[in-house]
Amino acid sequence: MSVAPYLRLQKAQTISEHMEQMIARFPEQLQEALGLAESIVYHKHAHVLRQVLISGLGGSGIGGNFVQELVGNECKVPIWVNKGYNAPRWVGRNTLAICSSYSGNTEETLSVFEQLTPTGAKVVCVTSGGQLLTRAQAQGFDVATLPGGWSSPRACLGYSIVAQLGVLRAAQLISKRIFRHIEAARKLLVREQDDIRERAQKIAGFLAGRLPVLYCADNREAVALRWRQQFNENAKMLCWHHVLPEMNHNELVGWREQQRNMAIVWLRHRDDHPRVAARMDIVMEIVRYLAGASIEVYSRGKTPAERTLYLVHLGDWVSFYLAQKNQVDPVEIQSIDHLKAELAKIR
């Protein structure tokens, strides 16, 4: 197999145990994060908040997608997730702007941060350090400081989601209910741990050697995005996802010929919109004969938070077992490191 020249490929015997520990600690991380969320220091803003902007990339950006999905309807003001270099023009003194970067050194997030400063927005940074922390402190902005020392921001998703929710709570934009649901999710994950790992191993066996295609309901996209990102970064695989009903209006037509190298995963929740569920059932019948394989994966748990975090954890384990099958180190992200190094040479 030929690979990109800058990769110093590691073989199976050097596969890090570290990611396994980080994933296994996810329920514990949620517990720690719940304590952290309560202790967030938030100085009241002089202006009424009318919108929330959450900026971040990769493992630090996806926390914003989860926050939007979990409390978007409850939040008193709309939540906008931003994954680029620029802050939207509408940002002003009525905006709560959360800058999320685990390392604190992600250039896109730093660029947004710089643009926020003159707008009068209420800026809160969620980070473990780096430039973001230094600059936030210099400006006197509030910071939700995450525990440092984790090698992979993507393994800090629990901190990221709960800390961002903590900021929304401190700003009195949401109630405390979500934290009770996260605590229930934590208990569910502890209770089901062995079963989740067993289920993940089976799913990984089913996906190994194939291109995963993930489909889910549009209001549950963050989970599919997380699975996709974890397959990319941990298992070093390509993967794509789409949501229903939108997929029914375009991508469905692309399913015409046999695609035996593809495996479809239907990420489903018992409370999916009934018409979306009906669409999934019909589309599954249409495409199952074309794809190499097709499986349904239902979430478990009573509340949306439980169901979401259940699937997050399951997907993290699937990505870990896929890394084992692919004989790659789930921790290393040499491609991203290489890109960042090359970018640093261009000013």
Q: Can you give the binding site for ligand F6R, defined by CB under 6 A?
A: 57-60, 101-103, 106, 109, 152-154, 233, 333, 336
Distances in Å between the Cα of 337 and the Cα atoms of 149, 255, 256, 326 are 17, 36, 38, 21
Asked if residues 308 and 222 have their Cβ atoms less than 8 Å apart, the reply is yes
- Write down the catalytic residue from 69, 108, 221, 233: 233
How many CA atoms within 13 Å lie on the side-chain side of 191? 10
Q: Does the active-site annotation cover 340?
A: yes
- Write down the catalytic residue from 43, 76, 340, 342: 340
3-state secondary structure 60-113: HHHHHHHHHHHHCCCCCCCEEEECCCCCCCCCCCCEEEEEEECCCCCHHHHHHH
- In the complex, minimum distance from the CB of residue 28 to ligand F6R, in angstroms, rounded to a whole number: 19
Q: Does the active-site annotation cover 11?
A: no
Residue 275 has φ and ψ, to the nearest 5°, of -75, -35
- In the complex, minimum distance from the CB of residue 146 to ligand F6R, in angstroms, rounded to a whole number: 10
CA distance 224 to 321: 17
Residue closer to ligand F6R by CB (options 69, 233) is: 233
Residue closer to ligand F6R by CB (options 128, 294) is: 128
Residue closer to ligand F6R by CB (options 22, 276) is: 22
- In the complex, minimum distance from the CB of residue 104 to ligand F6R, in angstroms, rounded to a whole number: 7
CA distance 56 to 100: 5
CA distance 217 to 172: 29
- In the complex, minimum distance from the CB of residue 154 to ligand F6R, in angstroms, rounded to a whole number: 3
Place of tokens 């992600």: 106
- In the complex, minimum distance from the CB of residue 61 to ligand F6R, in angstroms, rounded to a whole number: 7
CA distance 340 to 186: 35
Q: Which residue's CB comes closest to ligand F6R?
A: 58
Residue closer to ligand F6R by CB (options 304, 330) is: 330
Residue closer to ligand F6R by CB (options 124, 333) is: 333
- Which of the residues are catalytic? 233, 249, 340
